C-alpha cells in the first residue's frame, strides 16, 4: 500500500529539499525507486499469496532457498537469504513447527547445522510457487517482455557490483 504521498510528489519534494546539494540525483533515483518497488512488492506478496499459507517474506525466502537446494547448511541459507544467523534461527524454528523443514547436525562437521526440506515443505512450495509467480506476473505487467529482460539484466549487474 502506498503512503500518503504519490511517487511523483515524493520525488519533487526530495528534489526541492536537496537542490542546494551537489548530488548524483540519477543514482539516488535508481536506489530509492528500487527500494520503494521492492518494499511495495514484498508487502503485496505478504498480503496476498504468503498470508494464505502463514509465511512471512523472510520465511518464504528461507524456505525457497532450502527448497531449491533440497538441503543446505544454515550459514549458506543465511547468506543466500541475506539475513543474520539469529534471524534465521527464529525463522527455522517457525518452519520446523509448521513441519516444513528439519535441522540436523552435519555428518561431516558436527559444528555445522544442515537444513532439509521435508515432504510437506516440498508439497507447499510446489503448490505455492505458481501462485507466487502469478503475483510476479501481475507486478511486472506494465513492462513489455523486452523491458522485463532488460531490467532483470540491469538489476543483476547492480547486484553483481555490490556483491563483487
Is 65 among the domain residues? yes
Would you say 70 and 116 are in contact if contact means Cβ atoms under 8 Å apart?
yes
Is 23 among the domain residues? no
Is 151 among the domain residues? no
Q: Give residue 128's domain range.
A: 42-140
Is 164 among the domain residues? no
Burial of 79 (0-12, 13-18, 19+ CB in 10 A): middle
What is the tens place of the pLDDT at every residue in 29-75?
899 889 989 999 999 999 999 999 999 999 999 999 999 998 899 99
Specify the CATH number for the domain of residue 99: 1.10.10.10
Residue 116 has pLDDT above 50, yes or no: yes
All three cell numbers of 24:
548524483
If you average pLDDT over residues 63-88, what whole number do you get?
94
Is 155 among the domain residues? no
pTM: 0.84
Three-state secondary-structure class, residue 123:
helix
Distance CA 21, CA 115 (A): 49
Amino acid at each position: 500500500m502506498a503512503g500518503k504521498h504519490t511517487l511523483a510528489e515524493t520525488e519533487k519534494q526530495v528534489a526541492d529539499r536537496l537542490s542546494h546539494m551537489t548530488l548524483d540525483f540519477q543514482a539516488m533515483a535508481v536506489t530509492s525507486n528500487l527500494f520503494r518497488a521492492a518494499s511495495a512488492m514484498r508487502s503485496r506478496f505478504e498480503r496476498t499469496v504468503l498470508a494464505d499459507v502463514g509465511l512471512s517474506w523472510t520465511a518464504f525466502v528461507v524456505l525457497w532457498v532450502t527448497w531449491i537446494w533440497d538441503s543446505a547448511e544454515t550459514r549458506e541459507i543465511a547468506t543466500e537469504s541475506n539475513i543474520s544467523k539469529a534471524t534465521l534461527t527464529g525463522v527455522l524454528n517457525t518452519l520446523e513447527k509448521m513441519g516444513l523443514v528439519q535441522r540436523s547436525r552435519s555428518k561431516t562437521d558436527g559444528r555445522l547445522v544442515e537444513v532439509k526440506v521435508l515432504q510437506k515443505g516440498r508439497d507447499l512450495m510446489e503448490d505455492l510457487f505458481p501462485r507466487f509467480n502469478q503475483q510476479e506476473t501481475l507486478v511486472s505487467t506494465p513492462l513489455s517482455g523486452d523491458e522485463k529482460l532488460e531490467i532483470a539484466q540491469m538489476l543483476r549487474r547492480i547486484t553483481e557490483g555490490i556483491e563483487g
